[in-house]
Amino acid sequence: MSATIIDGKQVASEVRAEVATGVAAFVERHGRAPGLATILVGDDAASAVYVGGKQKACAEVGIQGFDHRLPGDATREQLVALIEQLNADERVSGILCQLPLPGHLDGVEMTNLIAAEKDVDGLTVGSAGRLALGLPGLRPCTPAGVIRLLDHAGAQLSGAEAVVIGRSNLFGKPMAQLLLQRNATVTIAHSRTRDLEAVAARADVLIAAVGRAEMVRGRWIKPGATVIDVGINRLAEPPAGRRSSLVGDVCFDEAFPVAGAITPVPGGVGPMTIAQLLANTLQAAELQAG
């Protein structure tokens, strides 16, 4: 038996359709659309592509986009003033400061200036604290998207052994918290974990977010496990028989015959992040509107 493929593109398009419906209802009730402000400092090409993708996605579901750009030599004071202005702007439901910032600006400090109710990336200390305490709040987009994929795949989380490989603030830690909230027994593994293979092999739900191409091998996977591959790694050229040079942290060809369900790369977790950002923006607008 081989694994069921968890189709992130399909689930993301379902989320976007739900958001579009929710946005239309919001406009009906409040006479204005939810708004997402993005801030891009400098001219990093990859960041510009990400921000452009987020603005385009907003337009497609009826969210008003506010696209703010500052030059790469913008001062701390300029960026602080912009964030404060957006915090006070009632048309802006959510604020996203694209990271990384140029070296002279502190991404953690700047992110934390975003008002809690507008923190649609869920990355401020306040949002992380609310998540850790099990209080309602805006959740980081990629881990929230993974929960949605797990639910779509029918994964049983309560009581399951879940292993998250990677402990970043962006993904691994909030992912573990969300799994804990769903009553999984959670292990967070990282670069100092002893015998990672044995730890991974215990997992009913195995989530890899490392950034090392195809590190998780087929023999690491418990037969029938649900495998979520968060990694995005670009190889010099596509692997044999593939069109894309993007690969995940899981060796898909080895995992596929063993796992019960698995996300592909590309087309798995990746599409969920922007979809969840849109969902968070609508949620933020609804909370602010009471």
Q: Which residues bind ligand NAP (CB under 6 A)?
A: 142, 165-168, 170-172, 189-193, 196, 209-212, 230-233, 269-270, 273
Within the chain, what is the greatest distance between any pair of CA atoms? 59
Annotated binding site: 166-168, 232
Q: Which is nearer to ligand NAP, 142 or 281 (CB)?
A: 142
Contact call for residues 215 and 164 (beta carbons, < 8 A): no
> Using CA atoms, how far apart are residues 127 and 136, in angstroms rounded to an integer?
9
> Using CA atoms, how far apart are residues 52 and 46, in angstroms rounded to an integer?
10
Active-site entry in 121, 204, 229, 249: 121
Catalytic, 181? Answer no
User: Cβ of residue 31: shortest distance to ligand NAP, in angstroms?
Assistant: 33
Catalytic, 173? Answer no
Active-site entry in 54, 118, 173, 222: 54
Annotated binding site for NADP(+): 166-168, 232
User: Cβ of residue 88: shortest distance to ligand NAP, in angstroms?
Assistant: 30
> Using CA atoms, how far apart are residues 3 and 258, in angstroms rounded to an integer?
7
Q: Which is nearer to ligand NAP, 94 or 115 (CB)?
A: 94
Q: Which is nearer to ligand NAP, 92 or 230 (CB)?
A: 230
User: Cβ of residue 171: shortest distance to ligand NAP, in angstroms?
Assistant: 4
Q: 155-165 in b/e burial notation, b at 16+ Cβ within 10 A?
A: bebeebbbbbb
Label residue 214 exposed, middle or buried (CB < 10 Å: 0-12, 13-18, 19+).
buried
Which residue's beta carbon is nearest to the bound ligand NAP?
168
User: Cβ of residue 44: shortest distance to ligand NAP, in angstroms?
Assistant: 15
CB within 8 Å of 123: residues ≥ 6 apart: 111, 140, 169, 170
Q: Which is nearer to ligand NAP, 95 or 277 (CB)?
A: 277
Q: Which is nearer to ligand NAP, 111 or 273 (CB)?
A: 273
* Cis-peptide, bond into residue 140, ω within 30° of zero: no
CB within 8 Å of 270: residues ≥ 6 apart: 8, 232
Catalytic, 253? Answer no
User: Cβ of residue 165: shortest distance to ligand NAP, in angstroms?
Assistant: 5
Cα-to-chain-centroid distance, residue 148: 11
Query: What residues does 65 pair with on adjacent strands?
Result: 36
> Using CA atoms, how far apart are residues 151 and 5, in angstroms rounded to an integer?
14
Residues annotated catalytic, as ranges: 54, 98, 121
